Amino acid sequence: MKTWFVELVPPGWQWVMETIWAVVIAVIVIAIALLSVAIFNWLERKIAGRTQDRLGPHRVGGRFGWLQSPADGIKLLCKEDLVPTEADPILFRLAPYLGLTAAFTVFFVVPFADGWAAQQVNSAAFMALAILGMDVFGTVLAGLSSGSKYSLLGGMRAAAQMVSYEVPLGMCVVIPVMCFGTMDLNVIGEAQSGWFWHWGIFANPFMFVTFFVFLVCATAGCNRAPFDMAEAESELVAGFMTEYSGFRWAAFFMGEYTSMVVICGLGSILFLGGWNGPIPWTEWVWLSEHVHPALGWIGNCCGAIGFLAKIYILIAIMMWARWSLPRLRVDQVMTMCLKYCFPITAAMFLGAMLWMAAFPG
Amino acid sequence: MNWHTIFFLIGAFAACAAAVGMVFSRNMTRMAMLLVGSLGSVALLFFLAGADFVGALQLMVYVGGTLVLIIFGVMMTASGARGGLAARCMNGMLATLAGSSLLLLLLIVSGVLCPMNIDSAYCEAPVGCGGCERGDFGEGGDSAANSTNGTAVASTVDAETRAAQLVAAKRESMRENSEKPFPPTSGALGSALAGVRTDTLAGVDHEHCDAADETCHHTPGTGYMLPFEIVSVHLVVVLLAAAYLARAKKVRAEKQSTTV
Amino acid sequence: MAQELKTIELPIHTDEMMINMGPQHPSTHGVLRLVLRTDGEVVVDMDPVMGYLHRCAEKIGETVSPHQFVPYTDRLDYLSAMNMNLGFSLAVEKLCGVEVSERTRHIRVMVCELNRIASHLIAAGCYGLDLGSFTPLMYCIREREKILNLFEAVCGARMTCSYIMPGGIRYGDLPDGWVERCEQFVEEFLAVVPDLHHALTSNEILVRRGANIGVLSPEMAVAYGCTGPVLRGSGVAWDLRRHGEPIYTKMYDDYRFEIAASVGGSYPKDHVYPAIPPHAVLGDSWHRFYVRMIEAFQSALIIQQGLQKYKKSEPVISEPMKIITKIPEGDAYVETEAPKGQMGFYVVGDGTNILKRSRIRSSSFCNLSVFREISKGCMIGDIPSILGSIDIVLGEVDR
């Protein structure tokens, strides 16, 4: 499709079309992410409401109160953007967008369906982790530049937590990479096509355990409750976000949800078959590239919807946990990482290696 | 001039500007963030060169590294995160000395500078042997090829033609790869760390020069196993030392009651 | 002090940081200000600063008649207004030598125990909220709303009741159908308690956040004048409903309940409560919280007894004293077991209808005084845990 689009113009001007194509794709991906943020904002409140024996937002209008997210967005845009006198004016303004940009950049390598990635990179899994690690800089920068002690503590906590949880999270990614023999997320997704027992999570018992450790580490990596040390409203007021208001605050919010989308997307590709449904129904109705490219495209659309559905389910689980569990203390978060998550993933790594040696193929 | 060049210029300029800014900044937070910016721009350059794995590694390692730096900086400095830092005269002189010698080393290794008493072929050799001959960075390629041709007098004609064929085949595969924005590199890197240089296995350097030749010190089969192991042992030592420094010391109860 | 301080001595010292927690802070339960000196995440020293809600309640008591002062007592511990009313009323009644009828006594016991449940529900829910768990609070609030509906039915007000007055209660006998509604509430509440235990008491994370945190030894608790659940959480079986003044204990004489304190390592066995986790130490945050949960359950049982006794009693209701009623010369001091601890009212009469002196011993104030001592060496994240388990109300601390 890209080739067709680019060849609409004479050869000397094809770079213009390539640029347009790239911008269009980027806008679509960012729109998906931003729309997801709006939906998650609503979903989080609804899940919180239902968990707490109440209705959740329904007064603003729309069916099931869906207008709540647009209303919130408008409200946040209209709010005053305050910069405290004590704050470092440049870094304070830069911080929210840094985190947001890092989270969005990961979409660069995440395939939404077979071949539907902005760049098909050979080391995509590793690259996603590396860029996702940049996410924390927004948080740390906000903490350091706000000129508030709560923010400083929140930023420090975020940095310490991120550095620690990157290790087990990386190990959790290494295990499926080892099992599938590649870091290319597209190839990993392809390898899980067919029935759901081809999914990574069912590949061997060690992968099954690894998935849950991954989910815990992903929650911690996104600074979500019960690991939301950086925010910890009962201890640090709002942690790194204490001094933020209006749109900059909203940018943090978007960054948090986007990184959740990305990390859940990574999890669903590595463990839950990515865009492959539980049953290979697209094969049965000939929605395959081998029959016709257009049919393959439709099949890919269905796959992308399935992929998004898996992300939504994983995020709903994260929200469920957030509204059910109390927050851990900061040293307990570290203990959990270093004493439990890391040894478990190391053991799973060894186990998966032995399993592959014992049952090759 | 294409997008590749434009982004390369942006990345290179950002890396240099951020580095200079970091040196001249007096605010710890800004320094840390400029350092991150500089290292991140270098990662961008890696991505542009098609080295996705090395670029991701750059992000991964330096993100963690700089984060730890920030944590320690904030914890250890008396004036906190936002205080100014001023280096003393002696420190400044030492830093200038270390910095300029590093710069000199870099210039020599990259082949820009060539001291008189070192053979010119040695200076230029790494460019030719590195195996990266993408259009944007391959300026040294021709001269390197000339120098290797010049030293390979002892080879037979038969071997030369075979070598030429191999070179042509390799160039062809490189051109194919370079059409993809990100040719697979992680496999080759992994093999090299484990002791097998896949890029030299193709045989161009091996077939081309004899063992005594200094320009071709990368014989196939010797990868980066030894450096890798040395670094690993070094890191373990550092970790142990850090754990030793940071371990909690038990304090006796009597002593405690007097201090509290 | 017998308690072992757990100080972590590190060769690497970081700079100490001074943090002002409050007066506007989500987990200081109002306008309490805590000045923390921290070394990294560890609280080296802490100083609670209070007085931001001082409203001269004691002085006002010397300018209005006791009848008019009752609404001010509502605002002391605004989460348990009935108990505040009762404490003041008993003090004035003791000074005046007034006796209330049996039925009035039973009504007082019921509304006070209902209010104890309401207060403990807020305490338990906020303890969860302070530790990052928002959901249990909403379930606690739901139950509390039912109690407030009952209060609304008897006196028209939900929080600031002013129902119990010196000399009796207002508005005569209980309204029609109130007894049935109350019975229904108690049944529903007893059914909900296991859920709350599940979400809070035996929640693994909450246990880990509360166990062995802010350990208060029985000796220290007594020395600092801690009372109520804070004292009983340290294993001292002292409850004014059993050990108080005759005018107060008479109300509870024919009620069956055990003091909710760990005596000899075991809590009352009138009901199956969740097991004590292995890491919990007597006197820590978790035990203070646990005592409240047990007390709330026991209060429900007391209300059940009260309803039976109310039905059997003679329908005679004592009327409150008038505004113009002269207070005899002399003084009287009565402490009652309010939900937060022992609430004492000291009143001096001089023959007019206005008190010469009125002084208040606040339970939250005394409990708060031990906060600094038990929070040294804890982490910043433990401060809400300890404060939540002490359960203060700033209206009462500052008066």
Q: Where are the domains of chain B?
A: 3-86
**How many percent of chain A have pLDDT more than 70?**
98
| CA gap B41, B8 in Å, rounded | 9
Residue B127 and residue B139: Cα distance in Å, rounded?
A: 9
From A59, A78, A97, the end of a domain falls on A78
Q: Which CATH class is domain B3-86?
A: mainly alpha
| Cα of C6 vs its chain's centroid, Å | 30
How far apart (Å, rounded) are the C-alpha atoms in residues B74 and B89?
23
**pLDDT tier for residue B64 given thresholds of 50, 70 and 90:** low
Q: Which residue in chain C is spatially nearest to A336 when comparing CA positions?
A: C205
Q: C93 CB contacts (<8 Å, ≥6 apart)? A: C99, C100, C166, C167, C247
* pLDDT (tens digit per residue) in A165-185: 888 888 899 899 888 888 888
Q: Do B57 and A130 touch (CB under 8 A)?
A: yes
Mean pLDDT of chain C: 86
**Does residue C119 lie within any of the structural domains?**
yes
Q: Which of C11, C14, C15 lies closest to B245 in CB terms? A: C11
* A53, A234, A332 member nearest C129 (Cβ): A234
Tens digit of pLDDT for each residue in B176-222? 555 556 667 777 777 777 777 666 655 444 444 454 444 444 455 56
What's the CATH code of the domain at C41?
A: 1.10.645.10
Tell how strand C341-349 and strand C42-49 pair up: unpaired
The answer on A121 and A9 residing in a single domain is no
Contact B209, B147 (CB under 8 A): no
Mean pLDDT, residues A274-297: 75
A49/A160 same-domain check: no
The complex's ipTM? 0.80
Predicted confidence (pLDDT) at residue C388 exceeds the cutoff of 60: yes
* C8 part of a folded domain: no
Mean predicted confidence (pLDDT) in B7-11: 87
Task: Give the tens place of pLDDT for each residue, C329-376.
Answer: 888 999 999 899 898 999 998 888 888 888 898 888 888 889 888 888
Comparing CB atoms, the residue among C9, C14, C17 nearest residue B251 is: C9
Task: Please check whether residue C2 lies inside any domain of the structure.
Answer: no
What's the pLDDT score for residue B128? 38
Q: Is A2 on the interface with C (CB under 8 A)?
A: no
A136 and A13 together in one domain: no
Partner residue facing A149 (CB), from C19, C41, C134: C19
Q: What is the pLDDT of residues A99-130, one digit of tens each?
A: 888 888 888 788 888 777 777 788 888 888 88
Query: Are A105 and A163 part of one and the same domain?
Result: yes
> What's the token pair of residue B137?
């960075």
**What whole-number distance in Å separates Cα of residue A254 and Cα of residue A261?**
10
Cα–Cα distance measured from residue C377 to residue C375, given in angstroms and rounded to the nearest whole number: 6
Residue B176: CB partners within 8 Å, gap ≥ 6? none
Contact yes or no for B245 and C12 at CB 8 A: yes
Distance of alpha carbon C211 from alpha carbon A73, whole angstroms: 42
The boundaries of the domain holding residue C203 are 16-398
Is the pLDDT score of C148 beyond 90? yes
The radius of gyration computed from the CA coordinates of chain C, to the nearest angstrom, equals 21
Q: Of A78, A103, A132, which marks where a domain is finished?
A: A78
Say whether both A63 and A90 belong to one domain. no
Q: Measure the N-to-C terminal CA separation of chain C; round to a whole number of Å.
A: 31
Burial of B210 (0-12, 13-18, 19+ CB in 10 A): exposed
* pTM of the complete model: 0.79
How many domains does the structure of chain C reveal? 1
Q: Measured between CA atoms, how close is C107 to chain B, in angstroms?
A: 51
Count up the domains in chain A and report the number: 2
Q: Do B67 and A159 touch (CB under 8 A)?
A: yes
Specify whether A229 is located in the same domain as A90.
Answer: yes
Tell if the CB–CB gap between B181 and A119 is shorter than 8 Å: yes
pLDDT at B140 over 70: no
Looking at the fold, whether A162 and A52 belong to one and the same domain comes out as: no
Are A276 and A259 in the same domain? yes
* Interface check A327 vs C, CB under 8 A: yes
Instruction: Tell me whether residue C149 is in a domain.
Output: yes
pLDDT band at C144 (very low <50, low <70, confident <90, very high): very high
Residue A53 belongs to what domain range? 1-78
Which helix (DSSP H) or strand (DSSP E) does residue C34 occupy? Answer: strand C33-39
Tell me what pLDDT residue C185 has.
Answer: 92
pLDDT of residue B165: 67
Q: What's the pLDDT score for residue B249? A: 54
Clarify whether residues A6 and A141 are in a common domain.
Answer: no
